[in-house]
Chain A
Amino acid sequence: MSAINIDLAINGFVTGLFYALMAVGLSLIFGILKIVNFAHGEFYMIGAYAYTLIALLLGVPVWIALPLAFLVGALMGWITERTLMRPLYAGYTSWGVMRDEYAVIVTFGLSLFLINLVDKVIGPYAYRGPPLVEASRVSIGPVLISGHRLLAAFIAIAVILVTAALIKWSFWGQQIRAVSQNRLGASLAGIDTAKASVIVFMLSGGLAAFAGALLSPVINASPDVGIFPAIKSYIIVVLGGMGSVPGAIIASLFLGVIESFGAVYISFQYRDAFGLILLMLFLLFRPQGLFGEKGREV
């Protein structure tokens, strides 16, 4: 494998890790609530701003600002679930009678609201977050990568593993999985489905905000910074299988590497089209995605 290919593979893998942080949260929300959160990119944007402003304006050390950004995202998730999502399903245990189509409008409105709110309150100027380490270039064999990006990649791996472990083995993780399989069944078994929804929204918001914070020294916080990552996340969730966390992680890594190679060997101009082409192919030949289930009707 030539030096440039190793470089492209590793950088694509790293980019995929950042996509995964975003996509896992989106996938969880779909799994539990069966809705697409169109404001997911704005949680990412809020995280980028939270980290950057806490660190730069308040002088808080970056290692404290990072978890604080997660908490800000989680808080946003909690507020969103309690004020905007809860009325959509309050009192319903079956998805058949829920007004989940309203969620599209509500979350889309929330997205526009947050972008314009930040634009007016903080201003249109971009802010570059402080890096976790002051090493602009780190050379590992043929790979040249910024120190921050490298460290952020390891942190992303750790966060993804912890999240996956929590969902798989923790008490609340098991309840979340139960609700995602069958909300009515979980409810009949005594599981508090509303609480599971709150936890998922908080976790999803926290992860998106954490991704934004982690990447703010690379992508620079600006009001519209979340739009592109959110679009990638929607693609990834479909590729991985709607609601499948392992699927979302694998699809993220796959997309990151494909984009990296495609940008160099095909054309950089089409870099963002590769995901859409994959999406179309999957919808045609494997609509359930990598790990999703085919639709079942009783």
Chain B
Amino acid sequence: MAIISHRTCVRACFAFVTASVAILGLAIGAQAADPIKVGVTITQSPPGSVVQGTQVKDGLEVAAKIINDAGGVDGRKIELVIEDTQGLPEKARAAVEKLITRDKVVAITGEHQSSAALAGIEVAHRYKIPYINTNGWSDVIREKGYPEVFNPGNYNSRVGSAAAATMKELGVKRVLSLAENTDYGIGLAKAIGEALKKVAPEISYKYETLDRASKDFLPAMIGLRSNPPDAIINLMLPPAAYIMMNQAYEQGIAPSAKTWLYDGSGLADYPDFWQNVKEAGKGMLVFGLYHPKMKQPPLGKEVGEAYTAKTKNEPNRLLFQAADSLFIIADAIKRAKSTEPAALIKALDATDYTGTRGEVTFSKDKGFAFNQWLDVPYVTFQMTEIDQKVGDSVLVSQPGQALDPAKLWKPAK
């Protein structure tokens, strides 16, 4: 048996401690330099809305650049790991699974289609990873009551109550919603019906679901022509929404002297809107989550300018919703001083952050209000000219200002 001298033993211990400290230091240093990975699920190829996916991606990239240029989060850069869901629930589910298990992201965000969000949150809930729902409007996402899922974006009940209030102010008697056959479309159509029952039970309301992949809605329009409603609410996304609008216009249904066209899907925000609709969009009333004449916090102005510099496009609602999603995650990491899921969820619960659109807090009420920012700002505006920019449209109502139908433009026939 070898005898180890005292000096050798001390030297060995010293070397071990030094090496351990060095390794620990390297590890800490490496962690400090490691980027914080945030998972993003968006639509980058059909059949989902690629336009929306592109806008969300731009918004997240603008926000990530602002955060990183300011030194990152506690010295660590934000890295976006993007997965394409094609707007399909099965792809969204697989994407979230991959982001969590393989990419080890600290949170998921970006989803902009309700059907995909509903699939994605199941996985996030199973792994207890924070999920910031950027633009899934379906109330069901909130009604699940998952503590990991936070909603700084718009929600169906909000649009429902806004649309119902507008219909009441317009003084219409019969309203028809044309909704796409998705969780978003059907959920929103029902939410409007519920809201109308409360604020204007005298209004007769029904909705029709249309296939979002369809390219021809003419038979549905012909069926409406003999007895058109007083208002049609669009609850479809492009490109199907454009085709429906053009055919409604060609059949003389809406917008017309008899029938208002009200858009509940934010169509006017799309850069290809006027190229695709022309006369069919003139006179359309729009539920808007963004309007250049709205009041915005300084961060909103900064994000809007950075987006325009990056893409040469006018800012849009999804840009701000996406940017807020990432800012909220960064804010929670900063306050939690950790990227551990449980600490992050606790910090998200206590969010009180002034983002691009206002002061975001999350309600803890049950149902559609769970983990929802309830005061998402909205306006109603009217497109009164072909090729009109949203900024030049007529702002007809905003918080604190009721809609006056006498001031609205309507076609002569």
Contact = CB atoms under 8 A, between A and B. Distances in A.
B108 to A, nearest CB: 22
Contacts, number: 116
Interface string B134-157: 000000000000000000000000
B218 A11 contact: yes
Interface residues of B, number: 42
A146 interface: yes
Q: For B46, B181, B278, which residue has the most chain A Cβ atoms within 10 angstroms?
A: B46
B210 interface: yes
B50 A124 contact: yes
Interface in A104-140: 115-116, 119, 124-128, 136-137
Q: For A127, A137, A220, which residue has the most chain B Cβ atoms within 10 angstroms?
A: A220
B213 A228 contact: yes
A137 B208 CA distance: 24
A116 B209 CA distance: 28
B249 interface: yes
Contact of B272 (A12, A127, A149): A127
A219 B243 contact: yes
B405 interface: no
Nearest to B216: A15
Nearest to A3: B226
Interface stretch (A60-68, A176-184, A185-193, A267-275): A267-275
B340 interface: no
A11 B243 contact: no
A128 B276 contact: yes
Interface residues of A, number: 40
Contact of B250 (A12, A144, A228, A272): A144
A29 to B, nearest CB: 22
A260 interface: yes
Contacts of A219: 215-216, 243
A158 interface: no
Contacts of B252: 137, 144
B215 A136 contact: no
A259 B223 CA distance: 13
B47 interface: yes
A223 interface: yes
B54 interface: yes
SS of A interface (majority): helix
Contact of A218 (B46, B214, B246): B246
Contacts of A81: none
Interface in B272-311: 272, 275-279
B181 A269 contact: yes
B239 interface: yes
B46 A115 contact: yes
A145 B252 CA distance: 10
B239 A126 contact: yes
Contacts of A146: 250
B20 interface: no
B219 A11 contact: yes
A145 B216 CA distance: 13
B355 interface: no
B183 to A, nearest CB: 16
Given A218-B243, A225-B215, A115 B45 contact: yes
Interface in A1-49: 3-4, 7-8, 11-12, 15
A124 B54 contact: yes
Contact of A222 (B214, B239, B278): B239
B276 A127 contact: yes
B46 A119 contact: yes
Interface string A164-183: 00000000000000000000
B404 interface: no
Contacts of A260: 218-219, 222
Q: For A126, A145, A219, which residue has the most chain B Cβ atoms within 10 angstroms?
A: A126
B223 A136 contact: no
A15 B238 CA distance: 22
A128 B275 CA distance: 6
A-B CB proximity, top 9 nearest: A124-B50, A263-B219, A224-B46, A125-B272, A126-B239, A219-B215, A264-B223, A268-B220, A128-B276
21 contacts: A4-B222, A8-B222, A11-B218, A126-B242, A126-B275, A126-B276, A137-B251, A144-B251, A218-B216, A218-B243, A220-B276, A225-B215, A225-B239, A259-B219, A260-B218, A260-B222, A261-B219, A264-B219, A268-B217, A268-B223, A269-B210
Interface of B: 44-47, 50-51, 53-54, 181, 208-211, 213-220, 222-223, 225-226, 238-239, 242-243, 246, 249-252, 270-272, 275-279
Given A224-B46, A225-B215, 9 more contacts: A4-B223, A15-B216, A115-B46, A126-B276, A128-B278, A144-B225, A218-B243, A220-B276, A268-B220
